[in-house]
Amino acid sequence: MALPAELTRKDTLDKDLDKIASVEEAASLLSRGLVAPGLALLFIVFAAVAASIYVMGQPGAVVIVAAAAIGGYMALNIGANDVANNVSAAVGARALTLGSALVMAAIFETAGALIAGGDVVETISKGIIDPRLVSEPNVFIRLMLAALVSSALWVNLATWIGAPVSTTHAVVGGVVGAGIAAVGMGAVDWSIMGAIAASWVVSPLAGGVVAALFLFFIKSTIIYQDDKLTAARRWVPVLIAVMAGAFTTYLSSKGLNHVVTFDGWTLTALGVGSTAIFWVLSSKFVAFQSRGMENRNQSLRKLFRLPLVISAALLSFAHGANDVANAVGPLAAIVSAAQGGGVEARVGIPFWVMLIGAAGISIGLLLFGPKLVRMVGEQITKLNPMRAFCVALSAALTVIIASAMGMPVSSTHIAVGAVFGVGFFREWYTANSPRRRAYLERKMARRRAEREASAETIAEVLADEADLDNRGAPPVSREEISRRNLVRRAHVRTIVTAWVTTVPASALLAMGAFHLIGLAF
């Protein structure tokens, strides 16, 4: 007896369609991951084409075009890695969304590079190599190309593993390695290298200590006061004024130093004057903002959000003005040497070279910056606007203090060290502060007067003390509060290892690149 046709038919069409749909979905996900690298590659090609337009028919055109492509690649990596330090605290504190932070940083980075980036840079970074030892133009060009390639590759690797590193140190390592390959160990000024190595320790420690001191001040004078709003109206304007004075001095000495130069007394006057002016303005701002607020830590966040946004913009501007030289400095030196200008200690930067650097930093930030922004702002330790304010203030103030004392520091190490300092200080303070313990006891005693204390009541007190919004959410346990307070040690180990190995790793890469370039050309 024959079976009905519907029983013998295999439903292969539906299965095949499901397989096709799965393949399409997988292809879509794969192609989505290739969009950013594809756009980056297009920018590198654009940099090479733009360079060819300017130098076509001139001496050394082929070398300059190749160097422009490598310089564009380096600029992309600077944007992907280094810029995260400027906006990550504001993003981690939710004062800015990730998208708005990236767009704002890209605008201010570009503005800083083009307006205040300077038209002259040192050809041998930080004076670590004597230009007289590499006076042969062909050797010098190979040295600069090798430094660019090695530093770009190292920063790219650091971004991939999630480690914010100093791009200045990467360039320094590249110059050292290529210089050793070119003329030997005697070419390096090891005293300057010793100072740079010392900055690996000084920079994060200084940034962490300054940030921790400000957080201690905020906790002591505002957070652990029974009348938080009155305390905030008294002290928040002072903190904002100090930040205004610090950033005025920071921008005057670091962000605009290529445009106008101020002496020490002028910088001091500018800092003190802006501090006084912004204390008056911020007193009115805080008084207005605090009207009708509840007397709880959650309310204090609003008072710090606007200063955080402004600080992120100013840090981005200063970074664009200073660190664009890491991408365009070696490129400008290659252009000068290739066009017959010889080997000079300092060279001018053509506008098209500066444009490649500025555009590359901004595009690299938009395409690849989110990974490092999230890591620094959210994954090392939990930030809120008050803690993020301490990080931003430390980033500006520590650079000013270190510069005044003649200490070499890294702004990247300072910013990340400030995040470490805030996190480790919270761990210590939570476990050891008698002020905090007394405050919690008073707060829970008042709750007992209102109703019988329960585990949920205690959790609510701890959540408010830790600046966690517990309204409408399940009770937060003491273990969860403690877990959120901890600094993630795995990130600390990864970042510190990357810091220590940046110069030697870039140097080794540069040695290899120097010899490979010699074979290619």
In SS3 terms, 95-131 reads as CCCHHHHHHHHHHHHHHHHHHHCCCEEECCHHHCECH
Q: Which residues pair with 122 in a beta bridge?
A: 346
Number of domains comprising the chain: 1
- Residue 18 falls inside a structural domain: no
Position 469 confidence tier, pLDDT thresholds 50, 70, 90: very low
pTM of the model: 0.84
What count of other Cβ atoms lies within 10 Å of the Cβ of residue 406?
7
Q: At what angle do helices 167-183 and 297-336 cross, to 10 degrees?
A: 30
CB contact burial 144-172 (16+ within 10 A = b; e otherwise) = bbbbbbbbbbbbbbbbeebbbbbbbbbbb
Provide the token pair at 120.
């002259």
Asked if pLDDT for residue 21 goes beyond 60, the answer is no
- Residue 47 falls inside a structural domain: yes
Specify the pLDDT at position 471.
42
Give the domain extent around 397: 37-432+487-520
Overall average pLDDT of the 235-264 stretch: 84
Three-state secondary structure call for residue 188: strand
Measured CA to CA, the distance from residue 393 to residue 398 in angstroms comes to: 8
The candidate with the shortest Cα–Cα distance to 224, out of 2, 449, 434, 471, is 434
- Residue 3 falls inside a structural domain: no
The candidate with the shortest Cα–Cα distance to 168, out of 181, 180, 155, 184, is 155
Q: Is the dihedral of CA 304, 306, 307, 313 positive or negative?
A: positive
Asked if pLDDT for residue 5 goes beyond 60, the answer is no
Position 18 confidence tier, pLDDT thresholds 50, 70, 90: low
- Residue 28 falls inside a structural domain: no
CA 77 from centre of chain: 12
The candidate with the shortest Cα–Cα distance to 321, out of 121, 172, 99, is 121
346: enclosing H helix or E strand: strand 346-348
Position 264 confidence tier, pLDDT thresholds 50, 70, 90: confident
- Residue 498 falls inside a structural domain: yes
- Residue 448 falls inside a structural domain: no
- Residue 94 falls inside a structural domain: yes
Q: Is residue 111 within 8 Å of 319, Cβ to Cβ?
A: no
Asked if pLDDT for residue 121 goes beyond 80, the answer is no
CA distances from 286 to 8, 247, 276, 307, 313 (A): 79, 20, 15, 11, 21
Would residue 126 be called left, alpha or beta, if left means φ above 0 and alpha means ψ between -120 and 50 degrees? left
- Residue 21 falls inside a structural domain: no
Position 387: which residue type? R
Position 468 confidence tier, pLDDT thresholds 50, 70, 90: very low
Measured CA to CA, the distance from residue 148 to residue 153 in angstroms comes to: 9
% of the chain exceeding 70 in pLDDT: 82
